[in-house]
Structure 1
Amino acid sequence: MKTYTIANTGHVFHMPESTPFEGAAQFDVFKAALNAVNALAEQKQALLNDSDLSGPGKEKRLKPAYETGWAILVAGYNRLAELDAATNQREAVLLAVPQLHPTHSACAVEDVELRQYFRALPLSERTKIMTVIQDTPEGGERYLRLQIAILRSPIPLPADHEMAFFKSLWKQTKRLGNVAESIAIDSERAATEFATRGLNFLQGILASSALTGWSRMELLAWLVRDAGRIDAAKALGFGVFDIENAKQAQKVAGRIPATA
């Protein structure tokens, strides 16, 4: 584990070793947020120590700094969501089942016949075929066309666990067929999990009295004033009902347009 200390606040948090993630875009997101929170802590301490500024003067200087700190954290959550979506798309390509071309009517008919054949078999026979597919490479090759037909089915199989079996086996086969891509996808997911964990720690520290001292409702009110921060509000744990209520309150207060 690695310990991170936030300047002038007394706050520390512990994270897994970052070495496997350094160089990943997700790690850059975490570092940017970490640097922003440390910079805010140092800026706040400097302003509090400035005897030339009154209390209200210090607060006036700190407010935009607080917003900048939160804005960087929000940008981090948004960026992680983009990276996660890209990983999901990458995995979808890896695991994709071959799709029927609209003009390949013969293949469509063959799909239907194969599914009807499998569904008509007694449970014991279906189970035997599934066992052969799972246990032997030859079985997987022999019944490959059947697997594809079943996975392309718009109608559930007689038992849900059978479809779950074919989906799971297909995923396993495709991942084993491209190990390098599978490892890359897993690495991206681990990096996203690492960075998200880091941002979650930082949001708690940023909200603490040592830094912004914003309550959850103050934070939500600020978040909903910009449509680009709504997804981040969800990542920060706010529900749809709370977000909509906060938006309505901000409209009534005239801080966002009534049509937003």
Structure 2
Amino acid sequence: MTYLHQAADGTFTYNLSGHQTFRLPAAPPEVATSTAAEWLDGAAKLLVDMIDTTSSTKSNVDLSDVGREKQLEPKRGKFVEDIAARWRAIEVREENVSISEATYLAPPKLESSNFAGAVEDREIRDWWRSQSVEARAKAMADIQTDVSGNERLMVALMRSPIRLHDSEAKFMKETWAAAVRQRNADVFAAFDAARESFEWARRGLANIVGISGATLGKSWDRERVVRQLLSSENVYAPSGYGAWGITAPEVARIKVRIEHEKSRAAGFQGTV
């Protein structure tokens, strides 16, 4: 049985049915019992099943070595796909959180039909550019003490098609973001908790991938994993190669190799 145990110091230990254990740092309930954590728990159970299946199959005296491998290989491939799919599902969730957060943090858009707003934006930006460095510094100090009273100024400057000086752009972006976060504290607390849960689950999945190496065997190297994922019918699996620390350039090169192999095979068939 796979179970998650929390120690007195808050850290967590996954006990993989007595096979092996791995530890995760302390985490609050909204992280340790999140959806991502449930995906991690499912992955741990898959690993235990894979270890047990491998052990029982290899001890089956009615099968030859070839027969044992023939039974195990499809299950190994399925395991690799399932772990990759969980890794990618976490990435997708994280991307969605980033999109939602960016939507909150973006300054209000100016509708193309809002001619008066466009004129006002330009007047504000012209005024800002006419100010001395000292006057701008004072204005930024005023903004910092009263963001809500200077929002119109900030929005016009952040919507400028001409980039502000780096220090001014950084100040406006960070001050605006801090104000938005404060106004929407509940929303951003949920974003932060989600991100923490994603990272926590990824650490667990990385441990599972590391432990699974001995069960999968040496033939399941990085290229073998990529080839399995690229052939998967699971929509998430082909993009879940990050679970093995595999990079996009590596995958791209293997794709080239696969296409090269297909072209050569087609060419040879045509000349026979």
Specify the TM-score bucket, using the shorter chain as the normaliser.
Answer: 0.7 to 0.9
For residue 13 of structure 2, give the secondary structure of its aligned residue in structure 1.
Answer: strand
Corresponding residue for residue 132 of structure 2: 122
Of 163, 175, 190 in structure 1, the residue corresponding to residue 169 of structure 2 is 163
Corresponding residue for residue 33 of structure 1: 43
Corresponding residue for residue 249 of structure 2: 241
Checking the alignment, whether the CA contact within 8 Å between 2:36 and 2:197 is kept in structure 1 is yes
Of 148, 151, 157 in structure 2, the residue corresponding to residue 141 of structure 1 is 148
For residue 209 of structure 1, give the secondary structure of its aligned residue in structure 2.
Answer: helix
Corresponding residue for residue 64 of structure 1: 74
For residue 147 of structure 2, give the secondary structure of its aligned residue in structure 1.
Answer: helix
Cα offset, 1:7, TM superposition: 4.4
Of 24, 27, 35 in structure 2, the residue corresponding to residue 15 of structure 1 is 24
**What TM-score does the superposition give when structure 2 sets the normalisation length?**
0.84
**What do you get for the CA RMSD once the two structures are aligned?**
2.2
Checking the alignment, whether the CA contact within 8 Å between 1:30 and 1:199 is kept in structure 2 is yes
For residue 143 of structure 1, give the secondary structure of its aligned residue in structure 2.
Answer: helix
Cα offset, 1:73, TM superposition: 0.5
Q: Higher RCO, 1 or 2 (CA under 8 Å, sep at least 6)? A: 2
Corresponding residue for residue 87 of structure 2: 77
Corresponding residue for residue 214 of structure 2: 209
1:24 paired to 2:34:
yes
Corresponding residue for residue 142 of structure 2: 132
Checking the alignment, whether the CA contact within 8 Å between 2:222 and 2:244 is kept in structure 1 is no
Q: 1:235 to 1:107 in 2, by over 3 A?
A: farther
Cα offset, 1:234, TM superposition: 4.5
Residue 148 of structure 1 aligns to which amino acid in structure 2? Answer: V
For residue 4 of structure 1, give the secondary structure of its aligned residue in structure 2.
Answer: strand
Checking the alignment, whether the CA contact within 8 Å between 1:225 and 1:250 is kept in structure 2 is no
Corresponding residue for residue 154 of structure 1: 161
Q: Deviations over 1:198-233 (max 9, x none)?
A: 111212222x22334311222122223348444212
Q: How does 1:209-228 map to 2 (within 5 A)?
A: 209-213=214-218, 214-226=220-232, 228=235
Checking the alignment, whether the CA contact within 8 Å between 1:26 and 1:80 is kept in structure 2 is yes
For residue 13 of structure 1, give the secondary structure of its aligned residue in structure 2.
Answer: strand
Checking the alignment, whether the CA contact within 8 Å between 1:97 and 1:148 is kept in structure 2 is yes
Cα offset, 1:8, TM superposition: 6.5
Distance 2:135 2:44 in 1: 58
Q: 1:234 to 1:211 in 2, by over 3 A?
A: closer
Distance 1:251 1:8 in 2: 43
Q: Deviations over 1:52-89 (max 9, x none)?
A: 11111111111011011111111101211221122112
1:194 paired to 2:200:
yes
Checking the alignment, whether the CA contact within 8 Å between 1:223 and 1:230 is kept in structure 2 is yes
Residue 190 of structure 2 aligns to which amino acid in structure 1? Answer: A
Checking the alignment, whether the CA contact within 8 Å between 1:36 and 1:69 is kept in structure 2 is yes
Distance 1:15 1:240 in 2: 27
Cα offset, 1:150, TM superposition: 0.8
Checking the alignment, whether the CA contact within 8 Å between 1:21 and 1:191 is kept in structure 2 is yes
